[in-house]
Structure 1
């Protein structure tokens, strides 16, 4: 057994996020484990850029209201207790609603994420209309 000390919160880099986003590393498995878990906190209106994970990603909302969307799909509203799985290599984004902070656990199995363009205000706004 090993106690892993808490690490400081990290501000999400501007090339990957719009708005204020902070994350805490909860688990970073060492080989042969590929487990990754981050607690991610989004300010109102903050969101990820479009991205995909080679082995998929699961997000579990712990607080607030947020949106998630796969490219070409409907914007889904997420609330505390909701869990959303995004399959391998599926482009998607997620973030807070415009009037609420949102926190979620982000879980994936590797570091092989591909980051794309920022989500436009129009794409993001589709969530507010649903």
Structure 2
């Protein structure tokens, strides 16, 4: 998918390619900082098929507000959840999870976190192609 097509996934700025976290993603993602006053808000846009590795937010939770396209969210031990614009996901601290785009559709969400002293992200194993390729949007 071309960059100008990804810019149409949501009304928020696409931002730059997310090169800093690229080792923890399969496919390309883009990151745009929208706010860093009291609450960090980023627009994260995933190209079709892009997803992040399993990961854990230590010391703080995260809220995802879906703003375009179709995507996935899954917590360890739970069924995968299909996401579309308007969906909201609350992720408590210490919960192993992953999120990303559907195979044939780009996806964008706002990521909200409250900066907390000592908070960190632990990046874990990738979501396997085998598991990912079984997912079908209903």
- Sort the TM-score into its range (normalised by shorter chain): 0.7 to 0.9
> Per the alignment, do residues 129 and 39 of structure 1 end up closer, same or farther by CA in structure 2, a change over 3 Å counting?
closer
Other structure's SS at 1:41 match: strand
Gaps of 5+ in 1: 1-5
Aligned to 2:6: none
Over aligned residue pairs, what C-alpha RMSD do you find?
A: 1.9
Deviations 1:36-94 (A, max 9, x none): 11100001100011111121111011000000000111000001000011111101000
Q: 1:11 aligns with which of 18, 26, 38?
A: 18
Superposition deviation, residue 129 in structure 1: 7.0
TM-score normalised per structure 1:
0.83
Q: Which aligned pairs between 1:9-88 and structure 2 lie closer than 5 A? A: 9-12=16-19, 13-29=21-37, 33=38, 35-54=39-58, 55-88=60-93
* 1:99 partnered with 2:127: no
Runs of 4+ aligned residues of structure 1 deviating over 3 Å after TM superposition are none
Q: Is the 8 A contact 1:70 1:90 kept in 2?
A: yes
Q: Distance in 2 between matches of 1:81 and 1:18?
A: 24
Q: Distance in 2 between matches of 1:124 and 1:93?
A: 11
Aligned to 2:5: none
Q: Distance in 1 between matches of 2:92 and 2:29?
A: 23
Q: Is the 8 A contact 1:59 1:83 kept in 2?
A: yes
Gaps of 5+ in 2: 1-12
> Per the alignment, do residues 66 and 129 of structure 1 end up closer, same or farther by CA in structure 2, a change over 3 Å counting?
closer
Q: In the comparison of the two structures, how many residue pairs are matched?
A: 120
